[in-house]
Chains A and B, each alone.
Chain A
């Protein structure tokens, strides 16, 4: 199987990664770049735990081939916080109790961040719709939705 050289910018850092054809973006992030914040939940585009921003838009990184990412900009959960400052959506999730086991949290953060970028004051329905691809088995979602509203208020 052929290997491909892929030039990507991950959380602002330029990287060149050698990837086989069958490597997904999710595996590249976790195994080649050691950014394990991106989680492998279902590997089928259903659970959203591997959600990252690809050129500014959220995608399931398990459904993207690494080789397709030549020249792309990628933001993972590790890229959300500033130097000494959590991202407002991270702070809101902590404050509002939107985190329990934490496995879905990286994907929730990325999806919520992307939602607030395209719709700074989302309605409850918009928040639910935006997070429909992020499964959480702990919280029952209510506190996650409250967290997104709280982040929107504080932005």
Chain B
């Protein structure tokens, strides 16, 4: 008997439609058996392991505009679905205006993998652990989607329904993620706890963003997004609201971190236990908020 530790990919057809409309049409008419294909860093592994068995992979990364990264000083940043993470990290506009996004991308796997992995792919996989999702959430990301009825925009905040489940319908192709210009004077931080220092999936991760907002009692707005602690990437709204209505002190940051941990509903799995995850969300939230507060004040 021979044991094949690395079975080949199962059989499928590779399809490269020439236009977005044809891609949507093909995906809609083969809804149960076709998947859009970007960098493949997730879908190929899951196919090889037998968790996914699509008949068709529909390559959408070279279609109309999906391979461009555009920045407009008024409108903000639009990252095409086919733009790999190393390109995002290296882009001067990203470094200047969206360092939080670069920091999140930098934490993904390895340099080789980031030459293939894409932010839109990370979002569409809808893993609660997705490293780049938190930055896109706190920066108010909006997805550009092409479907059978044409194009539409959808806020990222309401996109996730569960692990691997999103509001996408048959025939939908996400063509880009748009991030509006970040608030003036903002500071952000992505803190990821993995089983090793570099390259692992997160046990938990915290994305935080803070910026001056004179309309608030605290005069500062803080945004938080938590990874790997709920069925979807989680925004702890109570913690955010609490900080908006307090003066920012070590005590109020401590309480907000506690509220963030209370918002989590983590599971026990191979990467960590639920209790540990909650405790680490509290610690990392406090650390991220304190670091940002030091930079803002």
Contact = CB atoms under 8 A, between A and B. Distances in A.
Q: Are both chains from one complex?
A: yes
A49 to B, nearest CB: 11
Contact of B199 (A20, A24, A44, A133): A133
6 contacts: A2-B13, A22-B12, A48-B112, A65-B14, A130-B111, A133-B199
Interface residues of B, number: 26
B41 A45 contact: yes
A148 to B, nearest CB: 13
Interface of A: 1-2, 4, 20-24, 27, 40, 42-45, 48, 51, 54, 57-60, 62-65, 67-68, 111, 114-115, 128-130, 132-134
Closest 8 CB pairs of A and B: A133-B110, A43-B6, A21-B14, A22-B9, A132-B198, A132-B199, A1-B11, A58-B112
B113 interface: yes
Tell me if B's interface is mostly helix, strand, loop or mixed.
loop
Nearest to B9: A22
A27 B8 contact: yes
Nearest to B10: A22
Given A44-B48, A132-B110, A60 B14 contact: no
A63 B284 CA distance: 33
Contacts, number: 86
A22 B112 contact: no
A40 B9 CA distance: 13
Interface in B153-201: 198-199
Given A43-B6, A44-B45, A129-B198, A21 B113 contact: no
B9 A58 contact: no
B116 interface: yes
B13 to A, nearest CB: 5
A58 to B, nearest CB: 5
Interface string B38-70: 011100110010000000010100000000000
B237 interface: no
B130 to A, nearest CB: 16
